[in-house]
Amino acid sequence: QQQVKQSPQSLIVQKGGISIINCAYENTAFDYFPWYQQFPGKGPALLIAIRPDVSEKKEGRFTISFNKSAKQFSLHIMDSQPGDSATYFCAASDNRDDKIIFGKGTRLHILP
């Protein structure tokens, strides 16, 4: 049973365009939704995170949009750059246990 569903699996975007990655979840007890970025040969690193008491969080070119009623959240990368080419993972957790569950990842490629 996949608790966090992520789409698309892969994404190609022109430089300067907007990259959008979507995630959906079922467990209404989830209360923390981070996004991680992973470059080849490296471990994932936290990019941005949101809690369900807000609908949007922005950090530079990266924005999380959160829709609690639809149980969906998405990552938007504005003005995408070749250096953004990486694999992106959404994740979710609830503080009743300490599991952090990841989506299957999206491989993003930004064309120069």
Shortest CB 3 distance to other proteins, Å = 8
What's the longest Cα–Cα distance across the chain? 44
Shortest CB 87 distance to other proteins, Å = 9
Using a 10 angstrom Cβ sphere, with 0-12 exposed, 13-18 middle and 19 or more buried, the burial of residue 90 is buried
CB 31 within 8 A of CB 94: yes
**Which CB atom, from 98 or from 112, has the smaller least distance to other proteins?**
98
Shortest CB 76 distance to other proteins, Å = 20
Chain residues in the site for other proteins (CB under 8 A): 6, 9, 32, 34, 36, 41-46, 49, 89, 93-95, 97-105
Q: Which residue(s) pair with 46 in the sheet? A: 36
